């Protein structure tokens, strides 16, 4: 019998003894043992949590993210940060890109570096989806000279350190908990990244001297139940259909506050279902491709009365152009040392494609490109955050950013499939 068996699981397991004295003695000794073993157990748990910077098998997603420690700091680290952030072109900018190992983050970082801007990435490499894809993106960026610092946007000490080492002129804030449907499974991760993380970043930005201009990723999902099409930035956004949308909408309000109080220059970009090479495996076009190739059936959502579900799918290269134009047209923040010195720029733009495509057509295009017939499983649109359609009015971005999407879904998906086949035939497996 193990000594652990002596520990009662509940006080109810104690039996009444004849002598109250003996009973009290036993009770005290059991209580002492219980306390001792509780401490041992707690110690073991803490040891397990803080064992190594890369510990990954922790129970909850959120605790894994917030308790994970990262290695940063030291002269070599600072040297890498400085070198990556060095501006190499005349009139270049130095940008902190959060979520740099993410889909949009990788593309934007590479594009900035390519034109001679200084870039430092920041990413927590969380396991919302296959981390090996994030590592592959990191390797890709490293080859172009972009260093990704491993850390969380909620770590204000790290953020302050980065601003101490580099006087960033701009922040491209793309780190977020993405995905509309996953919000039902793990709501707190949305609050952690999209609300607490945003505030943590803005707090550091407002105190930086000089304050950077910030461009950040909002979402088409803020339009929620809005039925007026195409969606214009002036339309109502007070009916979010998912917690994801609600946290992005909250982000827009938080941006207003930091602009108003501290003079931070802030531009929110409402992305419309971005797709392309190096994309996110949790998105429909990505896992449809994987499952069609595997011969697995794919669930295609349909609204009530056989209503079409459609998205304004937008190709990554068009989104990157919009992001760079937003950075280039961003005015300087006006505050310093945490104090506002004058009114600052506050903008929000739709970055969409302006031509919604039904999801069933997306599948037909994939069938043609892959030369495989999909096993279609028509399902009712789940009531877990999905909206029936999205359609961007981009006249504002066109006017002020010169934004003009040029890639239709067929062309973009061809490029995606080409990447997908070469990436996963190189020994990588699309998990899930």
Nearest-10 crossing angle of helices 156-165, 197-207: 40
Shortest spacing between CB 3 and ligand UGB, in angstroms: 51
User: If you search the block for the tokens 């593309």, which residue do you land on?
Assistant: 107
Query: Is 244 annotated as catalytic?
Result: yes
Query: What distance in Å separates the CA atoms of residue 239 and residue 212, rounded to the nearest whole number?
Result: 31
Angle CA(248)–CA(61)–CA(173) in degrees, nearest 5? 35
Give me 132's structure tokens.
């090996």
Tell me the per-residue interface mask from 359 to 388 with ligand UGB, x by CB under 6 A, - otherwise: x--------------------------x--
Residue closer to ligand UGB (CB basis): 58 or 303:
303
The three-point CA angle 153-156-161 to 5° equals 105
Residue 66: CB minimum distance to ligand UGB, A: 21
Which helix (H) or strand (E) segment is 258 a member of?
helix 243-262
# residues contacting ligand UGB (CB under 6 A): 18
Interaction residues for ligand UGB, span 165-194 (CB under 6 A): 178-180
Question: 406: how many CB neighbours lie within 10 A of its CB?
Answer: 10
Query: What's the min distance (Å) between Cβ of 365 and ligand UGB?
Result: 13
Binding ligand UGB (rule: CB under 6 A), the pick from 65, 68, 192, 311 is 311
Using CA of residue 313, residue 318, residue 319, residue 325, what is the dihedral sign? negative
Query: Is residue 220 a contact point for ligand UGB (CB under 6 A)?
Result: yes
Residues 45-64, mask of contacts with ligand UGB (x by CB under 6 A):
--------------------
Binders of ligand UGB in range 240-299 (CB under 6 A): 271-273, 283-284, 299
User: HEC states along 93-107?
Assistant: CEEEEECCCCHHHHH
Please identify, using beta-carbon distances, which residue of 84 and 220 lies nearer to ligand UGB.
Answer: 220
Identify the CA nearest to 251 among candidates 269, 234, 273. Answer: 269
- Which span (39-47, 141-149, 159-167, 219-227) binds ligand UGB, by CB under 6 A? 219-227
Nearest distance from C-beta of residue 382 to ligand UGB, angstroms: 8
Q: Across the strands, what pairs with 163? A: none
The one catalytic residue among 244, 258, 275, 403: 244
Alpha carbon distance 122, 99 (integer Å):
6
Q: Give the CA diameter of the chain.
A: 90
* The binder of ligand UGB chosen from 221, 265, 333, 407 (CB under 6 A): 221
- Sole binder of ligand UGB in the list 106, 200, 219, 393 (CB under 6 A): 219
Catalytic residues: 244
- Give me the residues that bind ligand UGB (CB under 6 A), please: 178-180, 219-221, 271-273, 283-284, 299-301, 309, 311, 359, 386
């Amino acid at each position: 019998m193990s000594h652990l068996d002596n520990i009662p699981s509940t006080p109810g397991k104690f039996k009444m003894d004849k002598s109250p004295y003996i009973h009290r003695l036993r009770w005290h000794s059991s209580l002492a043992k219980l306390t001792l073993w509780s401490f041992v157990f707690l110690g073991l748990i803490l040891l397990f949590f803080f064992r190594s910077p890369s510990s990954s098998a922790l129970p909850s997603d959120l605790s894994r993210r917030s308790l994970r420690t990262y290695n940063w700091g030291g002269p070599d680290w600072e040297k890498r940060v400085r070198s990556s952030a060095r501006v190499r072109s005349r009139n270049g900018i130095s940008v902190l890109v959060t979520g740099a190992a993410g889909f949009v983050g990788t593309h934007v970082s590479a594009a900035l570096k390519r034109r001679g801007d200084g870039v430092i990435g920041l990413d927590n490499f969380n396991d919302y989806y296959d981390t090996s894809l994030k590592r592959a993106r990191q390797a890709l960026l490293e080859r172009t000279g972009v260093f990704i610092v491993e850390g969380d946007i909620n770590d204000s000490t790290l953020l302050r350190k980065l601003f101490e080492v580099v006087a960033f002129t701009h922040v491209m804030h793309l780190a977020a908990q993405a995905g509309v449907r996953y919000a039902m499974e793990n709501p707190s991760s949305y609050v952690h990244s999209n609300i607490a993380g945003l505030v943590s970043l803005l707090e550091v930005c407002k105190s930086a001297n000089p304050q950077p201009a910030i461009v950040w990723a909002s979402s088409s999902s803020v339009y929620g139940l809005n039925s007026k099409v195409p969606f214009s930035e002036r339309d109502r956004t007070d009916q979010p259909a998912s917690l994801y949308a609600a946290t992005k909408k909250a982000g827009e309000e938080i941006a207003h506050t930091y602009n108003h109080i501290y003079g931070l220059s802030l531009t929110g970009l409402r992305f419309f279902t971005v797709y392309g090479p190096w994309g996110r495996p949790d998105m429909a076009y990505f896992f449809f491709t994987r499952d069609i190739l595997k011969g697995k059936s794919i669930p295609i959502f349909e609204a009530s009365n056989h209503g079409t579900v459609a998205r304004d799918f937008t190709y990554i290269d068009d989104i990157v152009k919009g992001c760079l134009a937003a950075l280039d047209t961003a005015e300087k923040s006006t505050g310093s040392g945490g104090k506002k010195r004058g009114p600052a720029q506050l903008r929000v733009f739709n970055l969409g494609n302006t031509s919604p495509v039904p999801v069933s057509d997306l599948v037909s295009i994939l069938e043609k490109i892959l030369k495989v017939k999909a096993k279609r499983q028509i399902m009712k649109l789940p009531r877990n955050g999905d909206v029936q359609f999205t359609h961007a009015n981009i006249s504002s971005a066109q006017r002020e950013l010169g934004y003009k999407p040029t890639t239709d879904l067929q062309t973009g998906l061809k490029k995606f499939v080409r990447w997908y086949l070469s990436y996963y035939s190189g020994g990588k497996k699309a998990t899930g």
